[in-house]
Amino acid sequence: MPASGSSAPSRPLLLVVACALVDADRRVLIAQRPEGKALAGLWEFPGGKVEPGETPEAALIRELGEELAVETKQACLAPLSFASHSYENLHLLMPLYVCRKWQGTPQAREHAALKWVRPQKLRDYPMPPADEPLIAALCDL
């Protein structure tokens, strides 16, 4: 029996960081997960796994470069919300940052498509279960 007395099965924690790029018209960038990856076809806030030794901000700056070919810096990243979602085999923790200042035009280097969407329209796009609860915070911006 676990010392905590909890009957919930333990699951490995996965730390992922995600980012809402917000443009001058207050639209948010979402990205469609590609075929062949988990959750293919769903629209997500770009980001990815925090590697050992990285800070969440460093991981996000790296992921934005790899996935979208945009450059930003830590001072341009503001924490906004936090997702916590249990999958069968792991528990995903995912802080969401907002970024309003970057260099470069986002390109879909790893996604099937990109879209700029008003926060109030985000619910029209099917999202992974971790991303959906984050929409409310973006609508309140």
Least Å from the CB of residue 113 to ligand 9L3:
15
Q: How many residues bind ligand 9L3 (CB under 6 A)?
A: 14
If one asks whether residue 138 binds ligand 9L3 (CB under 6 A), the answer comes out as no
Candidates 84, 105, 19, 91; CA nearest to 56 is 19
Q: Work out how close the CB of 46 gets to ligand 9L3 at its nearest, in angstroms, rounded to a whole number.
A: 6
By C-beta, is 40 or 139 nearer to ligand 9L3? 40
Q: Which of 80, 64, 59 lies closest to 31 in space, CA to CA?
A: 64
Q: Among 14, 48, 108, 115, which residue sits at the site for Mg ion (rule: CB under 5 A)? A: 48
* Between 57 and 131, CB nearer to ligand 9L3: 131
Binding of ligand 9L3 by 57 (CB under 6 A): no
Residue 99 binds ligand 9L3 (CB under 6 A): no
Residue 67: C-alpha distances to residues 1, 13, 86, 88, 90 (Å): 43, 23, 25, 27, 24
- DSSP states along 6-22: --SPP--EEEEEEEEEB
Q: Three-class SS of residue 95?
A: strand
Positions touching ligand 9L3 (CB under 6 A) are: 16, 18, 37-39, 44-45, 47-49, 92, 128, 130-131
